Amino acid sequence: MGRGERGVVARLGALAAASPEGFSERVLERVGLARDRYAVVDHLSEPVYVAYDDAGVSFVRAVRHVGDAHAFERAFADHFGREVRRADALPPDVAAALRDGRARGVRLDPAGLSDFERSVLRKTLDIPRGEVRTYAWVAGEIGRPRAVRAVGSALGRNPVPILLPCHRVVRSDGSIGEYVAGAGMKRSLLAREGAPVDEVERLGRAGIRFLGSDTTHVFCVPSCRHARRVSPAHLVAFARADVAARRGYRPCRHCRPVPLATGR
């Protein structure tokens, strides 16, 4: 190659071009792979990122926990290995489910979870707003009464906190326990939902696991709405479910304080 031609070769390099801005996103749209979107919404005065696709909500993170939008997009990409694009607003059904706490209407898509983890997370949907249940309760309800620690780990891997209310699961001794976005956030979410956090902690410290009514002879977990309606004069406290049973109390059908027929 002569010198002149070497000069041409050097200049030809300048003809290399980067693809236009947004090109890869347009390609992915074209082949139907860019369906992930997210929006920022306020949930009980707590701003959260909610990501979703046609199958439902896939990923939720509190802004205070994950940081700016860029950080959220990175967290999503780390979790799913694909990109998510910002939308101006949530689809109406997703927004309604978040607002009303009726996550049942939304198809949840916790990808990358084991069957056990999925059962644990779905079970949290059975805990009404304003109430809490224990890790042991969750374990019993899904038929794995010995897997209490595994329940804790599974809840820690919740990709859609708030929508799947893992914050409503507390320790058997009444203490708040852990939370994927920090115990402080767990406490404030519960407080805003009207759950009797302080009372549950106080009762727990005193070894009280169940509350009953001496008029109905029904016993409940302390935060159950039925227990909270019992007037102080008729309130009975139990440390153990088998003691309550022997005294003729039956378990509440709403909160199901004992997982199986026999108490613990």
Write out the catalytic residue numbers. Answer: 166
3 state SS of 85: strand
Determine whether 100 is exposed, middle or buried from the number of CB atoms within 10 Å of its CB (0-12, 13-18, 19+): exposed
Nearest-approach distance from CB 9 to another protein, in angstroms: 5
CB atoms inside a 10 Å sphere around CB 156: 12
Which of 28, 87, 208, 236 is the binder for another protein (CB under 8 A)?
Answer: 28
Of 2 and 248, the one with the shorter C-beta distance to another protein is 2
Per-residue tokens: 248: 């003729």
DSSP string, 178-241: --TT-HHHHHHHHHHHT--HHHHHHHHHTT--EEEETTT-EEE-TT-HHHHTS-GGGEEEES-H
Nearest-approach distance from CB 29 to another protein, in angstroms: 10
Rounded alpha-carbon distances, angstroms, from residue 51 to 76, 80, 108, 128? 8, 11, 11, 23
Which of 18, 70, 146, 233 is the binder for another protein (CB under 8 A)?
Answer: 18
Q: Is 233 in the site for another protein (CB under 8 A)?
A: no
Of 64 and 79, the one with the shorter C-beta distance to another protein is 79
Stretch that binds another protein, among 29-37, 64-72, 163-171, 255-263 (CB under 8 A): 29-37
168 with 200: CB under 8 angstroms?
A: no
Residues near another protein (CB under 8 A), total: 28
Nearest-approach distance from CB 154 to another protein, in angstroms: 23
Q: Is 261 in the site for another protein (CB under 8 A)?
A: no
Judging by DSSP bridges, how do beta strands 37-43 and 169-170 pair with one another?
Answer: unpaired
Q: Is 17 in the site for another protein (CB under 8 A)?
A: yes
Judging by DSSP bridges, how do beta strands 133-134 and 210-213 pair with one another?
Answer: unpaired
Nearest-approach distance from CB 7 to another protein, in angstroms: 8
Burial state string for 20-48 with b = 16 or more CB within 10 A and e = fewer than 16: eeeeeeeebeeeeebebbbbbbebeebeb
Nearest-approach distance from CB 1 to another protein, in angstroms: 7
105 with 97: CB under 8 angstroms?
A: yes
Of 14 and 261, the one with the shorter C-beta distance to another protein is 14
Q: How far is CA 188 from the centre of its chain?
A: 15
Stretch that binds another protein, among 10-18, 49-57, 147-155, 248-256 (CB under 8 A): 10-18
Stretch that binds another protein, among 3-11, 53-61, 130-138, 184-192 (CB under 8 A): 3-11
Site string for another protein, 60-89 (x = CB under 8 A): ---------------------xxx------
Q: Which residues of this chain interact with another protein, rule CB under 8 A? A: 1-2, 4-5, 7-9, 11-20, 23-24, 26-28, 30-31, 33, 81-83
